[in-house]
A and B are shown apart, each in its own frame.
Chain A
Amino acid sequence: MLEEISEYLEKLRSTILSGDSDSAREIAKILKEKNVNPVDVVNNAIKPAMDEMGKKYENLEVFLPELVLAGEAAQEVLEVLLPKEMESSFIKGKVVIGTIYGDIHDIGKNIVAAILRANGYKVIDLGYDVPPRNFVETAKKEGAKIIGMSCLLTPSMFYMRDVITRLIDEGIRDKFYVIIGGAAVYPDWAREIGADGWAKDAERAVQLCDTLLEKGHELPKPVILGEWR
């Protein structure tokens, strides 16, 4: 029995690495039927797969499509295995992410989303050209801790402030960390609009989320990672 489960876990690990969401979901269903503890699935299949994927991406051995598909497969498995109320025990946190209104650039945001998933976050990706209201409504609905906004065009960056204003107006500013990134925005803009953090690149965006969730309430804002010297 134990050997059989080990085989399934190994199969699940390699299926996640190959980015095959359909097969990953089927294996997850089998593991659930066999009453395998979700902790064992996370520790022996999901986490090793995503750690390996993250390392390969850093070394340019795999690329954005593989990273995204693996992250989606891992998310499928968690959705099969975990009731909604248990989800928070198995993820670092939920991040609502998107490219702000008026801007259709999305590859940078996609890289950040994929790397966050690879590092244990649940990511709700709103896509590009996202109105400020959608960030706030989705974050409330999903119980997210972090709202991440990307912007590559100067005339779109002003809408980032609208997201924060909306949170203040609704009296829920302290319920979310708001972080920003992308070519059009810079640390002083994060300060000006009252964001909680700014990161220069995808790797630092993960560090920023980790830092804010671990000790965000103690730190002066915004937390800036990777400012030009």
Chain B
Amino acid sequence: MDLLFNVLDKTLTGPPMEKHEFELKLVPRVTREVLKEHGLERTFDPNNPINTDLSLAEDFYRAGYDFAIRVGMFCPDTGRRVIFTEEEIKQALRDAPREVVLGYGKDSVVIRSRKPEDGIPPVAEGSALGMAVSEEYFIPLCMTIAQYKVIDIILAPTLDRINGREIRARTPYETIMGMYEAKYVKEALRRVGRPGMPLHGVEGAPTEYAYISGFLPGGYDPERTIGIALIPEPIILSYQIMHRVVTNHLIGSPLEAGHMLNIGGYFGPPEGAVVGAVAAQILQTVSMFPTVVESTILDARFFSNTSREALWATSTSMQARTLGNHVMNLGITSQVSGPCTDMLLYETTTITIADSVSGVSIEIGTRPAACRYKDHGSGLENKFFAEVLKSSAKNLKLSDANEIVKAILPKYEGRLRDPPKGKSFIECTDLKTLQPTREWLEIYERVWRELEDLGLPRWE
């Protein structure tokens, strides 16, 4: 706890600055500086969406490291920068865990630190991440995901209502929701015979109310659950997020520290996003002492990470982070097309391969239709995601991955702006058996045959 006190003290004593000045001037300026100093300007290669040059990735790590030291983080609650010494950073990186065991009995899994082209597959986490799901379909949807043994961990979707009541942020309804989410997902796991499966939550918590209630006794078990401290923008260290960090450290639960980062946003071009992701991984490690760090680079034009630019930035930054230190990295697949479409499986293929061969330790499955539509997720795209994740780790080198992604990208990139909505959970799932409809299964089989033809063996 002393280390956390040190971080919290810095939020009260660091140099004062306006958020506007930090985000709009300091961050872009230093990003440009480190890109120039390390010779990394205009290195984005649209013809090779999976980076295969590991020395380039190492250069990006050094640039991101420099950025982390020069800029630090910003606390919007106190209007102060939070700056770390190089010794503090080095110590936090040295102390970061290399491995963690989660879950009980036969359902337990080991998350390990990985490197690019690491043959040991990453851990596959199933979800309908960030998607609002009706109370009546919440448990069935979790069951359809968890029934597939290739999926190792589950992350619940967002409960839409409880007992017909709207769950409003910052009200006691929210506090109730934290506990209900945990109870419902555990009930789903019990029903599919995987009671010891590891968990990740509290997914639907907008604030600390649901977050803390979700970890009360009877809710998420601290020893089998990864907590979530996800900051909306990298390197912004808000108290709302630090409440979660402190909670997980107090109860001794593993923690995911994460951030979303937009190409075209404060860090600018794809190259700037890579620098931002590296810097944020380092800074979240030294400020939150997490078990895993998530960095999701989205293409702001589409709100996805399956565009050419996002795939390049994701693969390059994942390689940079996994080569530069041993921190365990969590990746997210974020698609714009909906279930029961081949485009969803194509998008899933490219981003999953990008992360898997670049060294991700744990990857979260699908966010169909960018989570815009209620009940628009299913089990089958999660099964497909987990199979591609594990097969590509075992069978592909970076150059193979690049060739497959180059073949798949043209099948969908022209549709990223206006993607197909696909079908809802009940439209593509037989609710009695929790199996996918014939139509959805045929699409899955066809896309897998295409991948086999391109050189990716099926995961058995």
Interface residues of A (CB under 8 A from B): 57, 60, 63-66, 68-69, 101-108, 111, 152-156, 158-159, 183-186, 201, 226-229
Contact = CB atoms under 8 A, between A and B. Distances in A.
A105 B232 contact: yes
A63 B301 contact: no
B233 interface: yes
Contact of B169 (A153, A183, A226, A227): A153
Contacts of B160: 154
16 contacts: A63-B265, A68-B24, A103-B206, A104-B240, A154-B132, A154-B160, A154-B204, A155-B177, A155-B206, A156-B169, A159-B169, A185-B372, A186-B374, A228-B338, A229-B418, A229-B419
Contacts of B309: 60
Contact of A229 (B28, B266, B420): B420
B278 to A, nearest CB: 18
Given A103-B169, A154-B132, A155-B204, A186 B269 contact: no
A107 B259 CA distance: 13
Interface in B363-403: 369-374
A66 B262 CA distance: 15
B165 to A, nearest CB: 10
B206 A156 contact: yes
Interface in B196-233: 204, 206-207, 210, 232-233
Given A104-B238, A186-B372, A228-B369, A65 B25 contact: yes
Contacts of B207: 102
Contact of A101 (B169, B238, B421): B169
B174 interface: yes
Given A107-B265, A153-B169, A228-B372, A69 B418 contact: no
Of all A-B residue pairs in the complex, the 4 with the closest CB atoms, nearest first, are A102-B169, A228-B421, A63-B268, A155-B169
Which of B173, B177, B301 has the largest count of A CB atoms less than 10 A from its CB?
Answer: B301
A155 B205 CA distance: 8
Chain A binding site: helix, strand, loop or mixed by DSSP? loop
Nearest to B263: A60
B303 interface: yes
Contacts of B25: 65, 69
B254 to A, nearest CB: 23
B172 interface: no
Interface of B: 23-25, 27-28, 130, 132, 158, 160, 166-170, 173-174, 177, 204, 206-207, 210, 232-233, 238, 240, 262-269, 272, 300-303, 309, 338, 369-374, 418-421
B440 to A, nearest CB: 17
B259 to A, nearest CB: 11
A21 to B, nearest CB: 11
A146 B210 CA distance: 33
Contacts of B418: 226, 228-229
A107 B28 contact: no
Contacts of B419: 228-229
Contacts of B372: 183, 185-186, 228
A184 B300 CA distance: 16
B369 A159 contact: no
Contact of A64 (B130, B174, B265): B265
B336 to A, nearest CB: 8
B132 A229 contact: no
B166 A158 contact: yes
Contact of B206 (A57, A106, A153, A226): A153
A107 B267 CA distance: 12
A102 B373 contact: no
A105 B371 CA distance: 15
A159 to B, nearest CB: 7
Contacts of B169: 101-103, 153, 155-156, 159
Contacts of A152: 232
A108 B264 CA distance: 11
Contacts of A104: 232, 238, 240
Contacts of B174: 155
Contacts of B166: 158
Contacts of A201: 301-303
Most B CB contacts (10 A, CB to CB) among A60, A63, A66, A105 go to A63
A184 B272 CA distance: 27
Given A155-B169, A155-B204, A69 B370 contact: no
B207 to A, nearest CB: 6
A77 to B, nearest CB: 18
Contact of B264 (A64, A68, A227): A64
Given A104-B232, A107-B232, A154-B206, 17 more contacts: A60-B264, A63-B28, A65-B23, A65-B28, A65-B268, A69-B24, A103-B169, A103-B206, A105-B232, A106-B233, A107-B265, A155-B169, A155-B206, A183-B372, A201-B303, A228-B338, A228-B419
